Amino acid sequence: MRPARLLAPLLALALTACAGGTSAPATTATTSPAPTTPASAPTPEPDPLEQAVDAALAGLDRRAQVAQLFVVSVELTDLSPGEALIREQDVGGIFLRGRSTASTAELATLTESWVEAADGPAPWIAADQEGGAVQALSGEGFSALPPAVEQAALPPEQLAALASGLGSELAAAGVTLDLAPVVDVVPPGTERGNPPIGFYGRQYGGDPEEVVLAAGAVAWGLAEHGVVPTLKHFPGLGRLDRNPDVDPVVVDDRTTADGEQVQAFAALVDSPADPFVMMSSATYAQLDAGQAALFSPAVVTGLLRERLGFDGVVITDDVGNAAALQDVPVGERATRFLAAGGTLVLTLQPRDVPEMVDAVLARDAADPVFAARVDDAVRTALLAKARAGLLPPA
C-alpha cells in the first residue's frame, strides 16, 4: 500500500534537509591526532511538554485527574451547562452535540469563556464535523461540506483545500478536536447494507488505499490549523449490517487483524497529524468474541497499541446512549475501557459522569494494576493537551 499523501511533503522536506547538509569531504592531515580526553555525555534537555504535564498533574487531586478522562456532551441548542461541567466537575472536554447555525464568531466567544472557566487544564472543545449528514456546525463562517464519499472523488488539490478550510473554520470557532475523519472501509456494492457508514456516504472509499489517501488529507488539513483529528471507528465499522448506536447486539464476524479495515488505520495512526483514534462499540468475533472492541484488551492494547504501535489518545464512541452498551453498568463502561488501554471516555449523558468517575476512583483505590493504567491514561491525555497548547508552560 502506498503511504498517505500527507506524508509526501515531510519526506520531501527531509530529503531536502539531508541534501543541504551534505558537504565535500575535508582533506585529512598526515600527522597522528593528539590524545584526547573522552568528553562526558551532555545532560539531556528537559522536555517542555513533559514539564507542562508534570506541572498540571501537581495541581490536580486524584478526582480532578480522573475527570480529565471524560469528554461530555452539551446540546448545541442549550450550551449553558458547559461552564458548570468545566468549573464544577473538571471534565477534560466538551462535545458540541446536535446542530447549530451559530456563527464562528459566536461560538468562539462561548468556547473562550469555557476555556477561561477551567481552573486547571483547558478543556477540549470537540465537534462532529465530517460533512454530508454529519455536520454539526453550519452557521456563518462554516462551509457546507459534501459527504466523505464525494470528498474522496475531488481532485487532490481540491480535497486539500477543503480540508484546510475545514481546519481553519473550526479553529476560528475555538474547536480543538474534530471527531473525524472516518477511516472505515465499506466494500463496493455493500453501502446500502451498512447502516452506520455506507448508507450515509460517510466512507472515503471501498479499499484501504482510497481511504488512506483521502482521510489522511483531511486529517492533515485539520492538524495544520491546530485541530486534532480523530480516526474512527477502530477496528472498523465498514462490514457491519447493524448500527451499535441503535442495535443492542452488533457482531462483525469477518474483520481480522490483517484485513482491509485494520489496514487503513495501520497506515494512518503514526501520521504527523498526531490523531486520536476512536473505538468501535461493536464486537468482533475474530478479534475478541467475548466483548465489545472498546472493552477488549486484545483489541485496544494488543492490536492497536502493540501491533500497530499507536501510543496516543484512544477515545470511545458515545457510551451514554449506544444501544450496544446498555447492558453494561454505567460505571463499568468507563473502568473496562480504561483497563483495556483506553484514554478518553465520550458520553452523551452528562448525568452519568459522577457515577463513572466514582467507579474509576473506587477501582483505582483497590487495584494497583488498574491505578497504573489510570496514571498512564491521565498522562497521555495531558500530553495531548500540552501538544495542542491547552496546558500552560511549566
Distance of CA 113 to the CA centre of its chain: 24
Mention every residue, 6+ apart, whose C-beta is less than 8 A from residue 271: 4, 6, 7, 216, 219, 220
Q: How far apart are CA 284 and CA 380, in angstroms?
A: 26
Q: What is the pLDDT of residue 8?
A: 38
Residue type, 281: S
Distances from the Cα of 16 to the Cαs of 10, 22, 129, 178, in angstroms? 10, 10, 35, 32
Q: How far apart are CA 140 and CA 133, in angstroms?
A: 18
Distances from the Cα of 107 to the Cαs of 19, 76, 173, 225, 243, in angstroms? 46, 10, 5, 17, 31
Q: What is the pLDDT of residue 39?
A: 60
Q: What is the pLDDT of residue 25?
A: 36
DSSP conformation letters of 73-129:
EEETT--THHHHHHHHH--SEEEEES-B---HHHHHHHHHHHHHH-SSSPPEEEE-E
Block residue for cell numbers 486547571: 120
Q: Print pLDDT tens along the chain (394 aa).
A: 433 333 334 333 332 333 333 333 333 344 445 555 556 667 778 899 999 999 999 999 999 999 999 999 999 999 999 999 999 999 999 999 999 999 999 999 999 999 999 999 999 999 999 999 999 999 999 999 999 999 999 999 999 999 999 999 999 999 999 999 999 999 999 999 999 999 999 999 999 999 999 999 999 999 999 999 999 999 999 999 999 999 999 999 999 999 999 999 999 999 999 999 999 999 999 999 999 999 999 999 999 999 999 999 999 999 999 999 999 999 999 999 999 999 999 999 999 999 999 999 999 999 999 999 999 999 999 999 999 999 999 8
Cell numbers given for 391: 496546558
Residue 92 Ramachandran class (φ > 0 left, ψ -120 to 50 alpha, else beta): alpha
Domain boundaries, the chain: 64-387
**209: exposed, middle or buried (C-beta count within 10 Å: 0-12, 13-18, 19+)?**
middle
Within 10 A of 309 (CB to CB), how many other CB atoms are there? Answer: 10
Strands, sheet with 230-234, edge to edge from the N-terminal-most edge strand: 230-234, 276-279, 314-315
CATH superfamily of 64-387: Glycoside hydrolase, family 3, N-terminal domain (3.20.20.300)
Distances from the Cα of 96 to the Cαs of 7, 99, 346, 378, in angstroms? 31, 8, 11, 22
Q: What is the pLDDT of residue 33?
A: 52
Cell numbers given for 209: 488505499
Q: What is the pLDDT of residue 45?
A: 83
- Is 115 in contact with 99 (CB distance < 8 Å)? no
